Chain A
Amino acid sequence: EDKVVQSPLSLVVHEGDTVTLNCSYEVTNFRSLLWYKQEKKAPTFLFMLTSSGIEKKSGRLSSILDKKELFSILNITATQTGDSAIYLCAVGSYDKVIFGPGTSLSVIP
């Protein structure tokens, strides 16, 4: 059965800290790995990764995929209170995308 595992499930940090969120997967017919941020409602897209070892970066966020070890990390540097959200890892396999349980990040001032 396909599965996506995220760790930690919950994290509390202070503003300015750097965090690393982990995602591992076991999926047949892997196509891509996606990171989303979910605040109040809809997940909003952050990154899509298809190739190993190539870092994707957007401001203070970055992510990388290791297809050999079947995992990805999402890094957030210099965290701000606005980064507080649930971060979802999802893996694309043919015609569906499977989500992990998410990491709930709380950034306190």
Chain B
Amino acid sequence: EPEVTQTPSHQVTQMGQEVILRCVPISNHLYFYWYRQILGQKVEFLVSFYNNEISEKSEIFDDQFSVERPDGSNFTLKIRSTKLEDSAMYFCASSEQGKVLRSPLHFGNGTRLTVT
């Protein structure tokens, strides 16, 4: 069964550094998402992306964050200057049809980001 893949599985970085989290969505999916989950807390929406632009973003997704689909397969999340509170599990997800009416989100296994 096709799956969403994320790399790396774990990233450790120092405060103030830039990180790029990578995702390869399922190949025929058109809508892409990033979520984060701080340890012990709920899964929080960051951003959705369709047709090479952001569809919707949450208050968490401030100017420190950006997303890109640099080629036909990768979908990346960049955090420009990491803060301690950015430490979390970051999940990429994709869906075949984006209005969530007909197709669910499929999640990758996540990247655990630790900011020291």
A residues adjacent to B (C-beta < 8 A): 31-32, 34, 36, 41-45, 48, 50, 88, 90, 92-102
Enumerate the 7 nearest inter-chain pairs by beta-carbon distance, A residue then B residue, closest first.
A92-B100, A95-B55, A42-B107, A95-B56, A99-B43, A95-B48, A101-B42
Asked if B44 is an interface residue, CB under 8 A from chain A, the answer is: yes
Contacts of A31 in B (CB 8 A): 99-101
Q: Is the interface of A mostly helix, strand, loop or mixed?
A: strand
- B99 nearest CB neighbor, chain A only: A31
Instruction: Count how many chain B residues have C-beta atoms less than 8 Å from C-beta atoms of the other chain.
Output: 28
Shortest distance between the CB of B39 and any CB in chain A (Å): 13
- Report A29 CB to chain B, min CB distance, Å: 10
Additional A-B contact list (9), CB under 8 Å, known A42-B109, A43-B107:
A48-B104, A92-B101, A96-B56, A97-B33, A99-B35, A99-B43, A99-B44, A100-B42, A102-B42
CA A38 to CA B42, docked complex, whole Å: 11
Nearest residue, chain A, Cβ from B103: A48
Binary flags per residue of B5-35, CB closer than 8 Å to A gives 1, else 0: 0000000000000000000000000010101
With A and B bound together, what is the CA distance between A97 and B109 in angstroms? Answer: 18
- Cα–Cα distance between A99 and B50 once the two chains are bound (Å): 20
Mask, B87-103, CB within 8 Å of A = 1, is 00101000000111101
Contacting residue for A42 out of B99, B100, B110, CB 8 A: B110
State whether A34 touches B56 (Cβ < 8 A).
no
Contact, CB under 8 Å: A42 / B98: no
**Do B104 and A95 have beta carbons less than 8 Å apart?**
no
Whether B45 sits at the interface, judged by CB under 8 Å, is yes
In the complex, which residue of chain A has the Cβ closest to the Cβ of B9? A41
